[in-house]
Structure 1
């Protein structure tokens, strides 16, 4: 299945194989660690990395909105990777995307990379907030360990889970779901992952990109 429905803080949410969360009651997509401009930042330092990651990220958002009616996208920090993410080609692509979705509400919870990169262009019409940003039963954060009034939805870690057998192993992006918080996988097309070790009270939902699986 491409989505897994679970109950959180009395609300029904969907964990999406595309590494995002959807809150139907609010018609909201929640996206962690998209890191726009990361590839451009590496190229600015002379590191030869692929182009097109900004377009890939934007197309990923469009694909989700085509399936899930969306009034708002909340970004859980690290929207921009570094100051080099303000490069004209990156900004132009984001502005063109924004013009196609003028009524869409965009909210960014500032993360550690956003602090260094600076706020995105005002022309994108993004509401900037600091963590925790609480709406209903949820507190939207970048860092998972922020004290908050609601159930915390956070990013920052880029969690992946190691599936291993005697002969092989596989690292898959995952949602780490605990009693008081969830850590979402990184949405960005050019981001790494950190292998997590869940405790006894945490559930792990891995995504292959096409299907969701609960592995513990």
Structure 2
């Protein structure tokens, strides 16, 4: 179950799948998908599971089918490292792109993209630098970009620890401040950074099935 917010006079849906949907622009917004991260670790000899690229692409498939978005905007760290240019990774991405050739793709370059390099031109991805302005929003990778607009960003991979007595659970979350919304990392095998909300910040956790605001006071 998604959760609707009105931000800068625009309706936005926070999705349980760790993404945002902007109905007026028919835009799906995701952060930190980190294509090729597992391949990068395996290239270093670290025995991590395969299949994360396939999992990421299937997750995008589900959202595109559900919302019919015409535009997917990635808030940085699209590719994890140069090893993400491995033939198998690029072949999977190319096959996915051909299935969704009518969908516009935009990537706001993040710090990992700077090291990995842009994806191949045949993927048909529009590459931009932060801040990328669309309507009342500035789409960024880093949350601390100073602009006179409402910022949507990634980079942090926020998770929040819910506690009940001796029990606790870490869940991905959206972290919202007065002029900023930080998205959880969308990609498989990306981990998370526990956040401690400051005064007037809001936290929306996702269980994968529903997005709920956490009462902080």
TM-score, length-normalised on structure 2? 0.98
Shift of 1:9: 0.7
- CA distances 1:72-120 after superposition (whole Å, capped 9, x unpaired): 0000000000000000000000000000011110000000000000001
Q: Is the 8 A contact 1:134 1:149 kept in 2?
A: no
Is contact 1:144-1:152 (8 Å) kept?
Answer: yes
Please list the CA deviations of residues 123-164 of structure 1 after superposition, one character each: whole Å capped at 9, or x if unmatched.
Answer: 110001000000000100000000123210000000000111
State the distance in 2 between where 1:62 and 1:165 align. 35
Look up the match of 1:101. 100
Aligned length: 215
Instruction: Give how far 1:194 is off.
Output: 0.5
CA contact (8 A) 1:161 1:172 kept: yes
Structure 1 residue 212: Cα displacement: 1.0
Correspondence for 1:71: 70
- Partner Cα distance (2:148, 2:52) in 1: 35
Query: How do 1:205-216 and structure 2 match up within 5 A?
Result: 205-216=204-215
Extract unaligned runs of 5+ from structure 2: none
> 2:3 and 2:165 mapped to 1: Cα distance?
29
**What residue is the counterpart of 1:20 in the other structure?**
19
Distance 2:185 2:5 in 1: 20
- 1:133, 1:180 → 2: CA distance? 15
* Distance of 1:169 and 1:73 partners within structure 2: 34
CA shift at 1:17, angstroms? 0.2
**What's the counterpart of residue 36 of structure 1?**
35
Aligned with 1:56: secondary structure? helix
Which consecutive unaligned segments of at least 5 residues does structure 1 have? none
Q: For 1:165 and 1:9, how far apart are their aligned partners in 2?
A: 35
User: Hey, what's the Cα distance between the residues in 2 that align with 1:58 and 1:203?
Assistant: 30
Partner-residue secondary structure (3-state), 2:145? coil
**Moved runs in structure 1, 4+ residues, more than 3 A?**
none
The Cα RMSD (Å) is: 0.7
> C-alpha separation between the residues in 2 aligned to 1:69 and 1:25?
12
The alpha-carbon deviation at position 167 of structure 1 amounts to 1.2
Question: 1:131 maps to which residue?
Answer: 130
| TM superposition shift of 1:171 | 0.4
Distance 2:68 2:149 in 1: 24
